[in-house]
Amino acid sequence: MKKFWIAAAFLVVLAGIVVLTMYLNREEPFKEDRTLYSYEDREVEEIRIVSEQGELYFVKKPEGWTMVKPEPYKIDPSAVGWLENRLKDFLAARVLNEDNPDLKTYGLDEPDATISFRLDDGTENTLYIGDMTASQVQYFAKDSARESIYILGSYDVENFLRPVSEFRDKTILEVDAKSINAIGLSIAGERDFMLEGDGSGKWYIVYPLQTEARGDAVVEMLEDIAEIKIKEFVGSGAENLERFGLKTPAFTLELGDKNRSRQTIRFGNVDEEKQVIYMQSAGSEDICTLSLEIFDPRRFKIAEFLNEAPLSVAIDEVNKVTIIEDDSAVEFLRDASKAARTFTCGGKAVNMEQFTTLYINIMSLSAEGYDPANTGGTPHLTIILELKDKPDPITVQFVSRDDLSYYMMTNGEPRPFFIAVRKIDLIKRWRDRILEGLDE
């Protein structure tokens, strides 16, 4: 019996030790309320920010947020919407619960910035922003109506303290990018080209000549135009036009859409180091920069859109290829007696791998530039394709233009196009290689 009482006493002591240990090591319940603002059931109607950047004042109207100060600029709704959402549900990183805190210690006696806002029920709040913490990733802050010192993340604070340009609308296109049907580009005041779409996906050059344009080249330009966004606002007013090269623009882009909206964008100096070009939309005072990675008007010239490739015919549609250089002619005839594709020259079968390469280069003889000065002349090289199902051959002649290019003539008609000498040299090189193989 004595042993029983000893064991019972031991268990009681042990239980007491366990309870005492649990009590001493218990976790204190979280008493710190980090909620700075919680107004999810209210609407923010005004936001005012005063900092070293100046004063920003936003007012919500039935159509959305507007900027009142420093100027009634058109704004980026998402940027101001972010501020509104944060003020309606703002949680601090930490709270310093000190009695009678010394505001000077935290830079809150003379705040670096003030954020104030008014709700739809008339409630007003003012938040003071003080110094950064020792970690340099947070800020001390205080609401004007509370004693507590709050510690806020730098991301939250610095989104409020951005310069005015960060809240402005950076879209520059006034036309509908998805329905653009007219594109014109002038270089140094002289129009280089004008393109028009017919609504079916086809595009045409309407100036300086009238011909179908390369669809892929137009699509590429349209994609670049759709991405045009202001990178930075750098100035305004007529006094800055010459400084940024906009008094006499280097390039002028003209755009039109199916809704008959029209817009002209002028481009001035290029900053190669920053990889930007200065621009201004007609009717706007703002001078801005645009990243050249997004849109570079120097890339686009009429040559990009020329769709003049008269010899682009599939090899299986051709019965005879004649190449005439000055007065010397070489003929390649399809051997219809063979099941496989075979061409002969002078009665001998040619190397078809070499001939296919020659023919690919022939099909690639497309216009590379526009020059209306072509009046024709004695051709240096003539290529004639005789087709299976058409009685009339295609004849393209190349007349010397300068040391680097040849004019093009199609079926005896001078065309306002030219092509590089190097492409003609490739034709002659592969012709000669085939002929050398015949002599071996």
Q: Is 227 part of any domain?
A: yes
Final residue before a domain boundary, out of 167, 196, 216? 167
CATH classification of the domain holding 135:
2.60.40
Q: Within this chain, do residues 361 and 241 fall inside the same structural domain, yes or no?
A: no
Q: Tell me the average pLDDT across 119-144.
A: 92
Q: Within this chain, do residues 163 and 231 fall inside the same structural domain, yes or no?
A: no
Q: Tell which residue, 341, 351, 325, 321, has the closest CA to residue 333.
A: 321
Q: Within this chain, do residues 181 and 269 fall inside the same structural domain, yes or no?
A: yes
Q: What is the pLDDT of residue 389?
A: 85
> Tokens at residue 339, please?
């099941």
Cβ atoms 286, 236 nearer than 8 A: yes
Q: Within this chain, do residues 295 and 204 fall inside the same structural domain, yes or no?
A: yes
Final residue before a domain boundary, out of 124, 146, 167? 167
Q: Is 290 part of any domain?
A: yes
Model confidence at 26, pLDDT cuts 50, 70, 90, reads very low
- Tell me which residue has tokens 């100027």: 71
Q: Is 159 part of any domain?
A: yes
Tell me what the pLDDT averaged over the chain comes to.
89
Q: Is 26 part of any domain?
A: no
Burial level of 296, CB count in 10 A (0-12/13-18/19+)?
middle
Model confidence at 32, pLDDT cuts 50, 70, 90, reads low
Q: What is the pLDDT of residue 14?
A: 53
- Judged against a pLDDT cut of 50, whether residue 19 lies above it is answered with no
% of the chain surpassing 70 pLDDT: 92
Q: Tell me the average pLDDT across 360-383.
A: 94
Q: What is the pLDDT of residue 168?
A: 93
Q: Within this chain, do residues 183 and 290 fall inside the same structural domain, yes or no?
A: yes
Which stretch, 27-31, 95-99, 238-242, 398-402, has highest mean pLDDT?
Answer: 398-402
Q: Within this chain, do residues 410 and 364 fall inside the same structural domain, yes or no?
A: yes
Q: What is the pLDDT of residue 180?
A: 96
Q: What is the pLDDT of residue 338?
A: 84
Task: Determine the Cα–Cα distance for residues 67 and 127; give it in Å rounded to an integer.
Answer: 20
Q: What is the pLDDT of residue 428?
A: 96
Final residue before a domain boundary, out of 268, 303, 338? 303
Cβ atoms 334, 318 nearer than 8 A: yes
Task: Determine the Cα–Cα distance for residues 68 and 56; give it in Å rounded to an integer.
Answer: 8
- Judged against a pLDDT cut of 90, whether residue 10 lies above it is answered with no
Q: Within this chain, do residues 299 and 322 fall inside the same structural domain, yes or no?
A: no
- Judged against a pLDDT cut of 50, whether residue 18 lies above it is answered with no
> Tokens at residue 341, please?
């594709």
Q: Tell me the average pLDDT across 287-295.
A: 95
Q: Packing angle between helix 421-439 and helix 352-363, nearest 10 degrees?
A: 160
**Full residue range of the structural domain in which residue 250 is found:** 177-303
Q: Is 278 part of any domain?
A: yes
Q: Is 11 part of any domain?
A: no
- Tell me which residue has tokens 């079926």: 411
Q: Tell me the average pLDDT across 218-238.
A: 92
Q: Within this chain, do residues 53 and 122 fall inside the same structural domain, yes or no?
A: yes
Q: What is the pLDDT of residue 33?
A: 78
Task: Determine the Cα–Cα distance for residues 343 and 319; give it in Å rounded to an integer.
Answer: 9
pTM reported for the whole predicted model? 0.74
Task: Determine the Cα–Cα distance for residues 270 and 254; give it in Å rounded to an integer.
Answer: 19
Q: Within this chain, do residues 205 and 128 fall inside the same structural domain, yes or no?
A: no
- State the amino acid at position 427 in one-letter form: I
- Judged against a pLDDT cut of 50, whether residue 28 lies above it is answered with no
More confident residue, 5 or 129: 129
Q: Within this chain, do residues 157 and 43 fall inside the same structural domain, yes or no?
A: yes
Q: Within this chain, do residues 248 and 319 fall inside the same structural domain, yes or no?
A: no
- Judged against a pLDDT cut of 80, whether residue 65 lies above it is answered with yes
Q: Is 188 part of any domain?
A: yes
> Tokens at residue 23, please?
């009590």
Q: What is the pLDDT of residue 29?
A: 35
Q: Within this chain, do residues 58 and 158 fall inside the same structural domain, yes or no?
A: yes
Cβ partners under 8 Å of residue 330, min gap 6 = 322, 323, 324, 345, 431, 435
Q: Tell me the average pLDDT across 174-196.
A: 94
Q: Is 325 part of any domain?
A: yes
Q: What is the pLDDT of residue 143?
A: 92
Domain count, the chain: 3
